[in-house]
Amino acid sequence: MAEVLTIQQMESRYAGEWLLIAYTELDKEMKVVRGEVLAHSPNRDDIYRALLSAKGRKVAVEYAGVIPEDLAVAL
């Protein structure tokens, strides 16, 4: 069975990395509360490639750190 972590545990464990998360719980604002980390990498492109293997799962892509100033984020 996969390890289910809170978003705080993920951010601590994978600081500065992009995460592909199969979420098991979202809050009222649709933010990940807890889930399983399917992939992690400092390279965002690795996570987008990993999305191909997550077909049919409820997933989210998160960055575990401070968003760089030169990066645009769409919500």
Separation between Cα atoms, residue 67 and residue 51, nearest integer Å: 21
Locate 33 and state its tokens. Answer: 């509360």
Mean pLDDT, range 2-27, rounded to an integer: 96
Residue 72 domain-assigned? no
Q: How many CB atoms lie within 10 A of CB 40?
A: 18
SS3 of residue 20 by DSSP:
strand
User: Which structural domain, as residue segments, surrounds residue 45?
Assistant: 5-64
Question: Is residue 70 assigned to a domain?
Answer: no
CA distance 41 to 47: 7
Question: Residue 71 falls within a domain, yes or no?
Answer: no
The answer on pLDDT for 73 being more than 90 is no
Number of domains in the chain: 1
Instruction: Give domain status of residue 29, yes or no.
Output: yes
Specify the pLDDT at position 2: 79
Average pLDDT over residues 20-31: 97
Which residues neighbour 74 within 8 Å (Cβ) at sequence distance 6 or greater?
none
Residue 73 lies in a domain: no
